[in-house]
Amino acid sequence: MIIYPDFYEQFQCKAGRCRHTCCKGWEIDVDEETAQFYCHIEGRFGEGLKNALAEDEDGWHFVLQENDRCSFLREDGLCSIILELGEDALCDICALHPRFYEEIDDMVFCGLGASCECVSELLLSARGQLCFVDESGECYDLDALLEMIGVPGCRPYRYNRLKQDETKKLIATFLQTEPIDDAWTKELERLKHDAHRYYEKSRELFGDKHEMLQRIYQYIFYRQMERIPAWEVDRISDYARMCTDFIVFHAGMTEDLAESLRRFSEQIEYSTVNVDVLLEAVASS
């Protein structure tokens, strides 16, 4: 059985309209089959492909340009490979991103990473709790999915006023994570320096957005379902609650809940080390 979130089929890459391209700031691995295909492309574009490829003990990858840009990311935000060769010519990671797939028992849980701004916007544009759909069109809530893999349901998310010491603890916990860039550390320092103002702003802007916050919580929980039963449901629930609290708090600074969700996702969810740090933090609290 294949399961995916209710907004999954609405996803379409924003390409040149994207403010936060996924073709910058990441090491782009190229699968062996596609690398060999690129090496046999002739002409001027083929030469560019071969010059941009490098191989090491981990396999093939693209050599990034200045500012960590992919060699084939044009100034207008479009991909030269797609324009020259078509979407079928993309390497596996570029073709699949931001999709993810996790197998649990005889089910495949599909999803979309919220580090993509289109995904974070889609997640928050719908109303009601996050639902999941199988290939027959039948819908399930999160508790039903958990029941299907034989574990109890998770606690619902409730947005409660944090005390001053709780906000400090929240920031301190996220400061333990490995930053993906200098800007992330600076953002956390800003939150730490003026925590009260940003927290009050977040409550003013998003404190009554219960459905949106519940969807964020459910999405974060779903993203880590593969860690059950290594981690108990309550621990995954505590992790999702803490992360949702942080996203709301961070949104007091950005004044954009979708952007704060996207920023959280690229910093935390794409690093198993950072996810483990936060899971350990809730386990020891």
Structure confidence at residue 104 as a pLDDT band (50, 70, 90): confident
The pLDDT score that the predictor gives to residue 20 is: 87
Q: Which of 74, 124, 75, 79 is nearest to 97 (CA)?
A: 79
The pLDDT score that the predictor gives to residue 37 is: 95
Is 80 exceeded by the pLDDT of residue 26? Answer: no
The pLDDT score that the predictor gives to residue 279 is: 95
168 is a domain residue: yes
**Average pLDDT in the 193-214 region?**
91
151 is a domain residue: no
Give me the sheet containing 53-56, strands edge to edge.
Answer: 29-30, 59-62, 53-56
140 is a domain residue: no
The pLDDT score that the predictor gives to residue 272 is: 92
Domain boundary among 37, 64, 96: 96
The pLDDT score that the predictor gives to residue 86 is: 93
Structure confidence at residue 252 as a pLDDT band (50, 70, 90): very high
| Cβ proximity of 279 and 243 under 8 Å | no
Is 80 exceeded by the pLDDT of residue 93? Answer: yes
The pLDDT score that the predictor gives to residue 119 is: 96
**Average pLDDT in the 185-203 region?**
92
194 is a domain residue: yes
- Number of domains into which the chain is organized: 2
Average pLDDT in the chain:
91
Task: Please state, for a pLDDT cut of 70, what percent of the chain lies above it.
Answer: 100
The CB density around residue 141, as the number of other CB atoms within 10 Å, is: 15
Is 90 exceeded by the pLDDT of residue 164? Answer: no
Domain boundary among 75, 96, 117: 96
Structure confidence at residue 81 as a pLDDT band (50, 70, 90): very high
**Average pLDDT in the 199-205 region?**
91
10 is a domain residue: no
Domain boundary among 96, 116, 141: 96
Is 80 exceeded by the pLDDT of residue 129? Answer: yes
The pLDDT score that the predictor gives to residue 143 is: 92
Is 90 exceeded by the pLDDT of residue 235? Answer: yes
The pLDDT score that the predictor gives to residue 221 is: 96
Is 80 exceeded by the pLDDT of residue 101? Answer: yes
Compute the residue count for the chain: 285
110 is a domain residue: no
**Phi, psi for residue 153 in degrees, rounded to 5:** -70, 165
The pLDDT score that the predictor gives to residue 207 is: 85
Structure confidence at residue 16 as a pLDDT band (50, 70, 90): confident
The pLDDT score that the predictor gives to residue 3 is: 95
**Residue 77: domain span:** 23-96
The pLDDT score that the predictor gives to residue 47 is: 94
**Average pLDDT in the 257-272 region?**
95
Is 80 exceeded by the pLDDT of residue 285? Answer: no
Structure confidence at residue 245 as a pLDDT band (50, 70, 90): very high
Residues 143 and 206: their CA atoms lie apart, in Å, by 25
66 is a domain residue: yes
Is 90 exceeded by the pLDDT of residue 152? Answer: no
Q: Which of 191, 201, 198 is nearest to 170 (CA)?
A: 191
177 is a domain residue: yes
**Residues 171 and 275 reside in one and the same domain:** yes
